[in-house]
Amino acid sequence: DDVPEELVDRAILKEQKSAKESLDTCPASRTDLLEQYQQRYDIISEYAPAMMSEDEIRSFLQQNAAEELASKNRGQIMKKVMPLLKGKAEGGTISKVVGELIK
């Protein structure tokens, strides 16, 4: 009961990523393994925290990182927002939205 929710979410997300990698790298001919990996991924996904959408990330960035967005310095923006969005949004999605906003 005394384990922080953030730590639990991080562990679940790590396992979800591992299950996804297993699923993606499994040969198509190994249907037995594919089924097992898919079941594992589906079960973990049920407990994983919901990730923010691109629109939610865009709104968050505009509200919480306006100064950094104005500078158009991708590194500075990512340095500020990654700790704030850790476990709430995927890094690739955050980077994509940042790229769109600084164009």
Q: Which helix (H) or strand (E) holds 25?
A: helix 5-25
Identify whether the C-beta of residue 80 lies closer than 8 Å to the C-beta of residue 68: yes
Task: Extract the tokens encoding 84.
Answer: 């704030």
Statement: the pTM of the whole predicted model exceeds 0.75 = no
pLDDT in tens, 3-32: 888 888 889 999 999 999 999 999 999 999
pLDDT in tens, 24-77: 999 999 999 999 999 999 999 999 988 899 999 999 999 988 888 888 989 999
pLDDT computed for residue 7 by the predictor: 86
